[in-house]
Each structure stands twice: as structure tokens, then as C-alpha cells.
Amino acid sequence: MLQRIITYVTRRPKRVIALWVVAVLALASIGSTQSYRVSTDDMTEFLPEGSESAVATRYAQEQFGQQKGTYTVTALVERADGGRLTQADHAAVGVLSERLADWKPDVSSLDVEGAAGDLDERAGRIVAASAGPVAPDERFQLVGLQWKANTTDPVAQEAFRQLRDRTADDARADGLRVGFTSGIASVADFDEATEGTRALSQALLFGSILLLSLLFFRGPLAAIVPVLAIALVAGGASGLVVLAALAFDFQLDTSTPQLITVVLVGIGVDYFLFLLFRLRERLRAGEDRRTAAASAASSVGPVIASAALAIVAAFATMLVAEFGQFQVIGPAVAISVLVMLFAGVTLMPAIAAVTGRALFWPSRSWARERSDGPAARLGRRIARTPGRAALAVTAALVMLSVFALGTQMSYDSDDGGPATAATRTADRISAALSEGASDPQQVYVKSVSGALSLQQLRPLRQGLAAIDGVSSVGAPALTPDRHGARIDMALADGPFTKGSMDLVRGPIRQVAREAAPDGTTAMVGGTSAIFADVSDSVERDMALIFPIAAGLILLILVFTLRSVVAPLYLLAAVALEFAATLGASVLVVQELGGQDGVAFTLPLVLFLFVVALGTDYNILMTARLREEMLAGKPVRSAVADAVRHVAPAVGAAGLVLASSFGTLMLESSETSREMGFAMAFGILLASLVVSSVLVPALTALAGQRAWWPRHAAREPRPVLAADPKPGEKVLELV
């Protein structure tokens, strides 16, 4: 089946390329115009239904009119001259809050494109506004807004900026000035402040791919064509995921499109570089461009398919997660990887069949293989002393892995981002009140035995106020039928900090249950409660996903290599690689960087990217090792030749990806910098150390036993000669 596909696409390459262009442009159009319909940044959408914060959120929507997708935005109102607020000023603040409650965006004046109906929906609206607490020194008063919109939608952000500017004008007429923070205010200001950095990171991302590809192949087309093809496929894959979400009525997290792009850039670069290195081998043997493309794709295609299926298996395991975001991300990325797999065996060979030697023009050095280059010397050294190489690498990985035992998770999203108007406003509030004052938490009380009174709720209110870490507790608000109540409270720390989430998990929920009136049920809601439940769910899911994914990857390796021994040490190598990368991250972030912990999403990100891509490299190397042994070569000679041929491709792919992910270290966010370092380090470790040194060394030690229960020596098959002479006719394993 695969061979027939490759034969067709290399015989009719222009037709295949044209079909791909039409298809991906259509899908990309769907993705760009319809993604907002299936995207949400409301974390409550992904919580397990039985979690307390999810139950509290549903109760708030039913009994207190809270709407889905609403976020708290806090406005700080102060005198323009910096003086104390007067009675007239307080009255003006009340009028201002009423205006805000009635505000509607003027979509016709927004600097965005789209149909009026869509823009109205995307711009969002304020569903409630009310005057809040006053600073102890009477220098400012807060106004709380409930804004319903997707905070990451550019249309909603533009609508917020419209509100911000008009409110500033209204306040100025009363001698006041206004600052906004939290929710869409913080997101819009952050995106505005980091726009230049993001553009630079994107330019460096693709610029590094172009530059390194140009250095490896010394041909402009070999640098440009892969980037264009991968970008094309990534756009089409994102559109297909959006189409699936529309068809099956599920919501995507707003970060999913970016995640898809990063994953596809990673594996797309891998697959294209694998093909180019093999294509160059076949062209050196004297084959024409179509024959060379077919031969290269036939050799690399099964490897690409196995590697892609391993990644699909890893992501598909997320379907068993209880956290809804994982349930969505897993299939979305799996679909995208399958699209890239299809591109790897159709579009990429077709491009190779059309371009051929032109990919490497104007360089002529590609036609001569270096028989004594760095990869050849590395291969001979590993073949001579495989035990020493395996021991040295294993010892280094184990030493780094030890640091992973001290991993601490950080849930604090306030991690050194750029100073913006929103952050300055938040700092003013936290200095005068508390860090949690701009995003209060809630305790809901539901009665099943009759109406509630304020007197019955007094012990609960007093108990909450006595908790160390709760800075203030508001008066209870009752539902119209008095069968429900809500008590707002401000925490001393910010809502995303580990301290606030631990406070919700422990003392607050305990006091709420113990001090709630008889015949009632207490539920804790709010941002801290939501993220506390999210982090608990993520930890449970990772403990479930990791072993299942490892088992599936092992099965794919067994099927691909048709053996039991090699897959076992490949999986062990990947596990050690993951632990070493996490350990290096802990060493740099916690021990040397002085941070309280690594971002709580880091282990999962490393699993998804480093382990999946590392499996790619291992499969490519092991497949070539097996191929060389199938030709009947002595084990150590086969190892030396395999490293000579594959290490440059693996090393090139690793360097390109590491430099790409390394651009994240230029971001202002501490979390982004951590991710950039961890992914770059892990990919370099996977490509330059584990796949290029450890795997060949272990295979040299195992010898023919690596392919047990089958024996490669009993299955001699023709293989590309190590150093074909010009004009020599050669055969290759397909």
C-alpha cells in the first residue's frame, strides 16, 4: 500500500503538489475564519464534572446569574490629582459603574475585519458592574466588572481597548482617572506589550530553520522549500481540526492551534530532513530525480510512518484523561500528526521528484560523501568501544536524572512578564489591599432544608475571616428565594499562586464544610479553586497517561522492528532521556535560577515533545542499524556505517528544532523561558547523545540478539553500499 502511494506521487508529482495546495488553502481558510467559534479560554469548560469548583460554577450560573465565559475585570478609580476621594468622587464612581454596566461595544469602529454579527458575538460585553472596596487611605476605589468574552480573541481585546479609552475620557470629565487589571485587561495589555517580542520569536523560529538548513545542504531551495511545505501543511492541519470541532461539536482550548503548529514544525522538519539526506544518497548513486525520490521515500516512509504512529499513540492516550483540555488536545494533535504523516509520504516525495538535484544547487559538495567526516569517526569510535560509550552516556543521564527527584511544581503565572498598565494597577491594589483583592474567591451555600438567614451564615463568615491567608470577607448575598448564598473573600496572595490554591484545597474548603449551617452544602469557587482542581486533575492524568503511552509506544516499536529486545532498551533510553531533561530543567530553574519550582505544565510538555521526537530519532537510527545488519555485515561494521549515514540527519534535525524552540528563551515570561530551555536541551540530548551514541552503542553490545526472536543474519537482503562508486548500480532495502 505504502509503496503504491509512493510510486504514484513520484510519477505524477505536479498533480499531487497542486492537490495539496488546493486542499490546505481551503482548510486553512476554515481555520482562520471559524476557529473562534470552537475556541474557549474558559477553564471551567474542561474541569471534571464532579470537581467542586465545577459544581460551584454551575450553581453560580443557575442561582446568581453568572454566565459562562465571564471573567472578573477590576477597575481602579482615583482622583487625577492623586488626592483623597471625596463624597462627590464616590458618587461619580457609582455613576461610572452604572455606565460600565450599560456599555456596549461599537463594532463598526473596531480596527478588525469580519461580518457585523460575528464581531458583535466576539467582542463580548459587560454583564455586571458594581462599585467595590475603597483603599484604606481613601486614594482609590475599585469597580468590579464581569466581562463575557474570549480573552485571547483579538476582537474582544480591541473592544476592551475601546472601553478603556472611552472610560478614561468619561472619568477625566469628573477629575478622575481609571486603570484596569485582571481578565481581558491583563491579557490585552500583555499581548500589546509583547507584540514585538512575539514577532521576533516567530522570525527567529523560521529564520533558524532556514539558516541551519542552508548550512547543512548549501542550497537555497533545500532551506526554503521545507519551511514553505511545513507551513502549508500546518495551516491545513489546523483547519482540519477546526472542521472536526465544528462537525462533532466540541470546544478547543485557545492554545491548541499554537500547539499544533509547534508539533508540526517539529516533526515536519524531522521528516523532510530525513528524506533529504536519503535523497542525497540516492542521487550520489547516479539515479534520476524521480527514481531517487521514490527510493528515498520507500526507505524513509516506513520509518516516518512508525515514528508518526508512536506520536499519535502518545497523544491519543489523552482520551483517557479526566481533564477536558487533555481530552481535546490529544485527538487534535493526533489528527494533525496524521496529516503530516500523509504529507511525508505524498507531498514531500512529490516535491523531491520535481526538484531533485536543484534542491542542493549551487553546491557541488553534496555529490561527494565524506568517508572520514565527524559522523564516520563517531561511528568507528562507538563500534570500537561500545561499552565505554554506553556507560559514559548512561552515567551522565543518570546524574542529571537525580535532580528530577527534587522537582517542585509552580502554579504562579505572575512570573516576571513585562510591566504594563494592568500590572501596575494590580501592584497598586495589592499594596493597599491584597494581591487577591482584584480577583475575589467565592463560597456558595445551598440549602435543602429551608430559607437561610444572615444570622445562620455568621459562623461561616467568621470562620473564613479567621483563616490565615484570607485578607477580607464580604457580606453574604442571598438568592431571591433565600435558599442559596454567596460569600466573597479576597486572599492575601494572587489567585494563581500555589499558596492560594493550597489555601483553597485545605483550610477554606474545610472551614466551609464544617461551619456551613445544618441542612446546607458548601462549595468553594473562583479562580484559585478552579486551578487547584485543574492541577489535581493534571497530576492524576499524568500518572495515568505516561504508562499507557509508554506501553503503546513499546508495541509500535515491537511491530516496526519485529523484535522484543531492541524496543525494550529503546524505551528505557527514552525514559532516561525524559528524566535527564527534567532534571536539567530543575537544576537550572530551581537550583541555579532560584525559582520556587518549574512550571506545572513542564513535565507534560517534555513528555509530548521531547519523548515523541526522541522516539522519532531512535526509530530512524534503529531502522538503519537493522538494515545494515540485514545485509549480513558484521555487527560493529554495521553500527559504524549506520551512524555515518544517520547521525548527520538526526543531528541536523535536532539542531534545527533546538534552535527553533530555543527562541522561546527570548520571551519575557519566565514560563516561556523555562519551556524554551527544556525543549531545546531535551531535543539536543535526544538527537546528539541518545540516538547518535547510546542507541548504536547498546545495539553493538546486543549484536544479533537485538532482533530476537528474529535473526537479522538469516535474512540477508540487498542494501545501499556504504561508498557507492559513480555509475555503480546499487540496491536498497525498502
pLDDT digits (tens, 9 = 90+) for 164-215: 999 999 899 889 999 998 888 888 887 777 777 667 766 776 777 777 777 7
H/E run at residue 522: strand 520-525
Domain-located, residue 335: yes
Query: Are 578 and 610 in contact, with CB atoms under 8 Å apart?
Result: yes
The predicted-structure confidence for 486-505, as pLDDT tens digits, reads as follows 999 999 888 878 888 899 99
Poorest-pLDDT segment among 110-124, 217-231, 441-455, 540-554: 110-124
**pLDDT at 477 > cutoff 50:** yes
Residues 181 and 285 in one domain: no
Domain-located, residue 554: no
The predicted-structure confidence for 130-169, as pLDDT tens digits, reads as follows 888 888 889 999 998 888 877 777 888 888 888 899 999 9
Query: Are 452 and 485 in contact, with CB atoms under 8 Å apart?
Result: yes
Rounded Cα–Cα distance for residues 149 and 69 (Å): 6
Q: What is the pLDDT of residue 411?
A: 66
Q: In 346-442, which ranges are continuous DSSP H helix?
A: 347-355, 374-384, 386-404, 421-432
Cell of 122: 466576539
Task: Say how many C-beta atoms besides its own lie within 10 A of residue 387's C-beta.
Answer: 11
Rounded Cα–Cα distance for residues 58 and 196 (Å): 39
Query: Are 624 and 633 in contact, with CB atoms under 8 Å apart?
Result: no
Rounded Cα–Cα distance for residues 493 and 503 (Å): 10
Rounded Cα–Cα distance for residues 104 and 312 (Å): 45
Q: How far is CA 307 from CA 24, 98, 172, in A?
A: 23, 59, 61
Q: Using the 8-state DSSP alphabet, how is residue 587 labeled? A: I
Cell of 448: 435543602
CA angle (360 as vertex; 354, 365 as ends), nearest 5: 145
Q: What is the pLDDT of residue 47?
A: 73
Task: Say how many C-beta atoms besides its own lie within 10 A of residue 428's C-beta.
Answer: 18
Q: Specify the amino acid at residue 470.
A: V
Q: Using the 8-state DSSP alphabet, how is residue 174 labeled? A: T
Q: What is the pLDDT of residue 240?
A: 87
Residue at which a domain ends, from 193, 209, 228: 193
Peptide bond into 362 cis (omega under 30): yes
Question: pLDDT confidence of 727, banded at 50, 70, 90?
Answer: very low
Rounded Cα–Cα distance for residues 74 and 180 (Å): 6
Residues 189 and 227 in one domain: no
CATH classification of the domain holding 506: 3.30.70.1320
- 316-325 in b/e form (b: 16+ CB < 10 A) is bbbeebbbbb
CA angle (665 as vertex; 662, 671 as ends), nearest 5: 120
Peptide bond into 709 cis (omega under 30): yes
Residues 214 and 356 in one domain: yes
Q: How far is CA 706 from CA 570, 712, 713, in A?
A: 11, 9, 12
Domain-located, residue 61: no
Q: What is the pLDDT of residue 722?
A: 37
Q: What is the pLDDT of residue 296?
A: 86
pLDDT exceeding 90 applies to what percent of the chain? 22
**pLDDT at 530 > cutoff 60:** yes
* Range(s) of the domain holding residue 616: 369-425+561-724+730-734
Q: How far is CA 441 from CA 323, 473, 477, 712, in A?
A: 22, 10, 14, 65
**pLDDT at 718 > cutoff 60:** no
- Separation of CA 47 from chain center: 18
Rounded Cα–Cα distance for residues 213 and 327 (Å): 36
Q: Using the 8-state DSSP alphabet, how is residue 476 labeled? A: P
Residues 309 and 373 in one domain: no
Length of the chain: 734
Query: Are 694 and 389 in contact, with CB atoms under 8 Å apart?
Result: yes
Residues 200 and 249 in one domain: yes
Domain-located, residue 148: yes
Read off the pLDDT of each residue in 346-364 and give the average, rounded to a whole number: 84
Query: Are 394 and 689 in contact, with CB atoms under 8 Å apart?
Result: no
Read off the pLDDT of each residue in 279-285 and give the average, rounded to a whole number: 83
pTM of the model: 0.74
Report the number of distinct structural domains present in the chain: 4
Q: Specify the amino acid at residue 77.
A: V
**pLDDT at 717 > cutoff 50:** no
The predicted-structure confidence for 380-404, as pLDDT tens digits, reads as follows 999 999 999 999 999 999 999 999 9
Q: What is the pLDDT of residue 535?
A: 82
Cell of 124: 463580548
CA angle (649 as vertex; 578, 2 as ends), nearest 5: 95
Q: What is the pLDDT of residue 605?
A: 73
Domain-located, residue 49: no
- Using only the alpha carbons of the chain, give its radius of gyration: 30
Domain-located, residue 58: no
**pLDDT at 233 > cutoff 90:** no
Rounded Cα–Cα distance for residues 252 and 244 (Å): 10
Read off the pLDDT of each residue in 553-567 and give the average, rounded to a whole number: 85
Domain-located, residue 270: yes
Read off the pLDDT of each residue in 217-226 and give the average, rounded to a whole number: 81
Read off the pLDDT of each residue in 14-38 and give the average, rounded to a whole number: 82
Q: What is the pLDDT of residue 721?
A: 36
**pLDDT at 356 > cutoff 90:** no
Q: What is the pLDDT of residue 213?
A: 73
Read off the pLDDT of each residue in 299-327 and give the average, rounded to a whole number: 80
Read off the pLDDT of each residue in 525-532 and give the average, rounded to a whole number: 88
pLDDT exceeding 70 applies to what percent of the chain? 89
Residues 234 and 330 in one domain: yes
Query: Are 573 and 92 in contact, with CB atoms under 8 Å apart?
Result: no
Tell me which range, 273-282, 318-327, 459-468, 598-607, is most confidently predicted by mean pLDDT: 459-468
User: What's the longest Cα–Cα distance across the chain?
Assistant: 97
Return phi, psi of residue 479, to 5°: -70, 160
**pLDDT at 371 > cutoff 70:** no
The predicted-structure confidence for 32-81, as pLDDT tens digits, reads as follows 777 767 777 666 667 777 889 889 988 988 888 776 667 788 999 999 99
Asked whether the CA dihedral 434, 438, 439, 442 is positive or negative, the reply is positive
Task: Say how many C-beta atoms besides its own lie within 10 A of residue 421's C-beta.
Answer: 17
Q: What is the pLDDT of residue 712?
A: 45
Q: What is the pLDDT of residue 102?
A: 86
Peptide bond into 718 cis (omega under 30): no
Residues 416 and 468 in one domain: no
Task: Say how many C-beta atoms besides its own lie within 10 A of residue 519's C-beta.
Answer: 12
Residues 319 and 261 in one domain: yes
**pLDDT at 714 > cutoff 70:** no
CATH classification of the domain holding 30: 1.20.1640.10
**pLDDT at 724 > cutoff 60:** no
Residues 609 and 708 in one domain: yes
Q: What is the pLDDT of residue 456?
A: 92
Residues 697 and 586 in one domain: yes
- 624-647 in b/e form (b: 16+ CB < 10 A) is bbbbbbbbebebbbbbbbbbbbbb
Return phi, psi of residue 346, to 5°: -125, -65
H/E run at residue 478: strand 477-478
Question: pLDDT confidence of 332, banded at 50, 70, 90?
Answer: confident
Query: Are 145 and 72 in contact, with CB atoms under 8 Å apart?
Result: yes
Q: Specify the amino acid at residue 288.
A: D
Quick one: which of 614, 20, 542 has its CA closest to 322? 542
- 466-499 in b/e form (b: 16+ CB < 10 A) is ebebbbbbbebebbeeebbbbbbbbbbbbbbbbb
Question: pLDDT confidence of 730, banded at 50, 70, 90?
Answer: very low
Residues 417 and 498 in one domain: no
Residues 514 and 584 in one domain: no
Question: pLDDT confidence of 422, banded at 50, 70, 90?
Answer: confident
Rounded Cα–Cα distance for residues 290 and 1 (Å): 19
545 or 716: which leads in pLDDT:
545
- Cell 535532580 identifies what position? 403
Report long-range pairs for 164-168 (Cβ below 8 Å, ≥24 apart).
Answer: 166/103, 167/75, 167/96, 167/99, 167/100
Residue 232 C-beta-side C-alpha neighbours within 13 Å = 19
Residue at which a domain ends, from 193, 215, 231: 193
Q: What is the pLDDT of residue 579?
A: 92
Q: What is the pLDDT of residue 387?
A: 93
Taking the chain, what is the end-to-end CA distance rounded to the nearest angstrom? 13
107 or 468: which leads in pLDDT:
468
Q: What is the pLDDT of residue 715?
A: 42
Domain-located, residue 50: no
Q: What is the pLDDT of residue 194?
A: 73
Residue at which a domain ends, from 365, 382, 403: 365
